[in-house]
Amino acid sequence: MALLEDLKKSAKRSPAVPNHPRWPLVIYWSVLHLPRTLDPAAVIEDVFDRNGWGDGWRNGIYDYLHYHSRIHEVLGIARGSAKVRLGGNRGRTLKLGAGDVVILPAGTGHQCLAASKNFLVVGAYRPSGTYDECRPSANAGEHEKRINSVAQVKRPRKDPVFGAKGPLLKMWKPTR
């Protein structure tokens, strides 16, 4: 397992997406063992559910830039691989594959640029927060409102993979 913290540096607030003002995007590379004898999406759903990340879905990642201003999101790659831009147009493009997990703090832009035919993602959210889907806005007032909303989303109590003592909680320091 490796954590990727440095996306915070390349994913600063931009005119297109706010990204999170304090908490970095976190990637756990090849963290989930997905046995061939089991449904990989079900394995990921079970891990997320056990750690309080629910309201899950199975699909891909949208091919347009978007973010969530009122909720944190976790993405577990169940099958295949994809090139995904994280952090918005000024962010980084990475190749994600089966077993990888990406934890997106509210406001983090994400977009799938290319994917294998068998690409499958399991997504989930924290129960505190409200789902929304935002695209870049040319309206400065709307963008500022979303920036303020991002900063209000509470820190999760559990890491979606490792639970109450997971590395996410050390990286996402509580607000004072």
| Tens digit of each residue's pLDDT (9 = 90 or more) over 81-100 | 999 999 998 899 999 999 99
Strand spans (E) along 9-100: 26-28, 54-59, 73-79, 81-86, 92-97
* Percent of the chain topping pLDDT 90: 81
Range scoring the smallest mean pLDDT among 3-7, 82-86, 94-98, 127-131:
3-7
- Helix or strand or coil: residue 110? strand
Domain limits, the chain = 7-164
User: How far apart are alpha carbons 62 and 53 in whole angstroms?
Assistant: 20
pLDDT at residue 163 tops 50: yes
pLDDT of residue 13: 57
- Helix or strand or coil: residue 167? helix
pLDDT at residue 10 tops 50: no
Cα 92-140-83 angle, rounded to 5 deg: 20
Say which CATH class 7-164 falls into.
mainly beta
The total of other beta-carbon atoms located within 10 Å of residue 126's CB is 22
